[in-house]
Amino acid sequence: MSQEQAQAHIRVRDLTLKYGSKLIQQDLTFDVNKNDIFIIMGGSGCGKSTLLKHMMGLYRPAEGQVWVDDNSLWDVSDLQRRAMMKNFGVSYQAGALISSLTLAENVGMPLELYTELSPKEVAELASLKLSMVGLAGFEGYYPSEISGGMIKRAALARAIALDPEILFFDEPSAGLDPISARLLDDLILELRESMKSTIVIVTHELASIFSIGSNAVFLDADTQTMLATGNPNQLLASCDDAKVQQFLRRGEAANA
């Protein structure tokens, strides 16, 4: 293995997450490897979205570091951090698309904001990104005119508009029926291959966790820290922690 492969893409070290004085999570230390589909999992309200926002540079941690390659997000200048964040593509659970803009305009927005491309080039690139998520021909549609699954796909197209090295998705398949959720999982796998990106996902969909997750961290609300990290299938097979087992077995007897 070369040295480049040996170093994790994102290294979270001794991270403490707080809102004001309210502690959410502490002592978080784990690695996200290049090309991982890394799942942040855990029960409701344990701090998954909060961790994601800290990893993407939106919130400054109370303690600890988030390293991306050789740079610690909060130990560089604001300018450098913004440059690092240009390599991040983001899709949130809610409000993913602007309803008054067409799909092509939604996807083109980051290109208009962050590049010097001409309107024609923006339109062409937006069209290409839409085709990458199976939405060729839907450039002129408004979000209200397409299905929930297509909206999620368009949100992913917008997240990949700038060819980011790292994609952060918060509950990408929330609210979808199982078949549409499965199709979205397939798409995420395809994007990982075509973009060669590292993907960090918040989800509590067990089907997704097991089918696309290559690596994961489990957060616990009671102890306010992580109880496990690793491949979800391996955690299911060999993690000793009862709460992790209970979660991965959908609440079925942890001692089974």
Ligand X SMILES: Nc1ncnc2c1ncn2[C@@H]1O[C@H](COP(=O)(O)OP(=O)(O)OP(=O)(O)O)[C@@H](O)[C@H]1O
Residue written as tokens 């959908």?
Answer: 250
> Residue ranges of the alpha helices (H) in the chain?
3-6, 48-55, 78-85, 103-114, 119-132, 148-159, 178-195, 206-212, 232-238, 242-248
Q: What is the DSSP letter of 21?
A: T
Least distance in angstroms from the C-beta of 167 to ligand X? 18
Q: Which of residues 79-108 bind ligand X (CB under 6 A)?
A: none
Q: How far apart are CA 35 and CA 188, in angstroms?
A: 12
Does 118 bind ligand X (CB under 6 A)? Our answer is no
When the beta carbons of 43 and 230 are compared against ligand X, the nearer one is 43
Does 47 bind ligand X (CB under 6 A)? Our answer is yes
Does 144 bind ligand X (CB under 6 A)? Our answer is no
**Binding residue (CB under 6 A) for ligand X from 7, 49, 65, 214:** 49
When the beta carbons of 24 and 133 are compared against ligand X, the nearer one is 24
Does 54 bind ligand X (CB under 6 A)? Our answer is no
Does 10 bind ligand X (CB under 6 A)? Our answer is no
Q: What radius of gyration do the chain's Cα atoms show?
A: 18
CB atoms within 10 A of CB 75: 11
Does 9 bind ligand X (CB under 6 A)? Our answer is no
Q: Provide the token pair at 6.
A: 């040996």
Does 16 bind ligand X (CB under 6 A)? Our answer is no
Residue written as tokens 């102890």?
Answer: 223
**Binding residue (CB under 6 A) for ligand X from 8, 15, 24, 55:** 24
Site stretch for ligand X (CB under 6 A), options 47-55, 154-162, 186-194, 243-251: 47-55
Is the sign of the CA dihedral 230, 233, 236, 237 positive or negative? negative
Least distance in angstroms from the C-beta of 201 to ligand X? 12
Q: How far apart are CA 215 and CA 207, in angstroms?
A: 14
Q: Which of residues 161-190 bind ligand X (CB under 6 A)?
A: none
Q: Which residues bind ligand X (CB under 6 A)?
A: 19, 24, 42, 44-50
